Structure 1
Amino acid sequence: MKIIFVDGYNVINSWPNLKIDKEEGFEGARQKLIRIMENYGTYKNDKIIIVFDAHMVPGSIEKQEKITKLLTIVFTKAGETADAFIEREVDAIGRKYEVCVVTSDNLEQQTIFQRGASRKSSPEFYKEVLMAEHKIKIETEKNKISHKNNLSDNIDYDTLAKLEAIRRSE
């Protein structure tokens, strides 16, 4: 299982489908990202940790919420950036597990790579997520088609022939 750290606001500001609108604001964009990552993580069987900066929120304490066994949301504490949190975590686990960090911050990408993790830019990860969503859609359609429950599958041939005769006689 791969562990993917997602710099939440970096991704929100990079992906066209997460643009912040006036009605929903940041909360709406965060919720969309969380739903997308939940689907992606389940499909790929990867553990995803989305990290949102709260370093500009005075008095904020670090909050971690486990949404599913594969998805965790982190809000950093006051004075700590998402980058600093991710670096600290990657330092602790980067050489023990397969770790990937999603951010378009070039300095962060270099730092992460030195600590044993791979990195992906936000646009590159966006393309990967879109491909996964497309594959999910195709597999879902296949399941719908293959699991159709036709009448002819559930009755004997004689009854089916009689029903067909009745249908044609009308």
Structure 2
Amino acid sequence: MQQQADWRDVLLVDGYNMIGAWSELKKLADTKLEEARDRLLDMLTDYQAYSGRRVIAVFDAYRVPGIGATYKQGDVTVSFTKEKETADECIERLVRELKHRRRTIYVATSDMTEQNVIFALGALRVSARELRIVIEQARREVEVQIKEQALRPIKRNPLEDKLSLDVMLKLERLRRGDKIE
């Protein structure tokens, strides 16, 4: 069975760059780096669900021998770089690998040099500040939709509005096990 290609747009996120740029994550990372990473990944998971984009968070493991791990946290792909590979190099490699005419690739980083490189490779850049604004806006829109949905009256059976009385009576007799004429 052939697997269908995933042509969704992709958002590549320089994880530690975001943590360093977002004040609440930076403050958390000063004492609990893993919690800051998890908080970022939670926010990216929510954003991915909202936007429909495929999100890949890249974390620099340049000085950690033999890491190179990739796994899923929620629906977000988390990638720790290989030994002697920076997050920037990993992101550049992923841009080249994922580049396709049907797909737009966005890279979230505030590293100006990296922004220029990925732009030259055909990806679009998103600064840490811009990504934060987009994520917050998406969160607010979801909250509004949830509140609006909570205020709507709950319809017990939406078919009631679409079926004639005759058909509804026949269905009720069927449900009770009665004979239908």
Which amino acid is the alignment partner of residue 28 of structure 2?
A: D
Q: Secondary structure at the match of 2:13?
A: strand
Q: 1:56 aligned to 2:32? A: no
Aligned residues: 148
Which residue of 2 is the match for residue 26 of structure 1? 33
Residue correspondence of structure 1 range 17-166 to structure 2 within 5 A: 17-21=24-28, 25-57=32-64, 59-68=65-74, 70-96=75-101, 97-147=103-153
Residue 116 of structure 1 and its aligned partner are, at CA, apart by 0.9
Give the Cα–Cα distance (whole angstroms) in 2 for the partners of residues 120 and 139 of structure 1. 26
Give the Cα–Cα distance (whole angstroms) in 2 for the partners of residues 62 and 20 of structure 1. 27
Residue correspondence of structure 1 range 4-23 to structure 2 within 5 A: 4-21=11-28
Residue 20 of structure 1 and its aligned partner are, at CA, apart by 3.5
- TM-score after normalising by structure 2: 0.76
Give the Cα–Cα distance (whole angstroms) in 1 for the partners of residues 32 and 132 of structure 2. 21
- Counterparts in 2 of 1:22 and 1:3: CA distance versus 1, 3 Å: closer
Which amino acid is the alignment partner of residue 57 of structure 2?
A: I
What residue ranges of structure 1 are gaps of 5+ in the alignment?
A: 150-170
Give the Cα–Cα distance (whole angstroms) in 2 for the partners of residues 34 and 22 of structure 1. 13
What residue ranges of structure 2 are gaps of 5+ in the alignment?
A: 1-7, 156-181
User: In 2, are the aligned partners of 1:4 and 1:100 still within 8 Å (CA)?
Assistant: yes
Q: Secondary structure at the match of 1:19?
A: helix
The percentage of aligned residue pairs carrying the same residue is: 33
Residue 22 of structure 1 and its aligned partner are, at CA, apart by 7.1
Q: Secondary structure at the match of 1:51?
A: strand
Give the Cα–Cα distance (whole angstroms) in 2 for the partners of residues 22 and 101 of structure 1. 22
Q: Secondary structure at the match of 1:55?
A: coil
Give the Cα–Cα distance (whole angstroms) in 1 for the partners of residues 39 and 57 of structure 2. 12
Residue 11 of structure 1 and its aligned partner are, at CA, apart by 0.2
Which amino acid is the alignment partner of residue 77 of structure 2?
A: T
Residue 15 of structure 1 and its aligned partner are, at CA, apart by 1.0
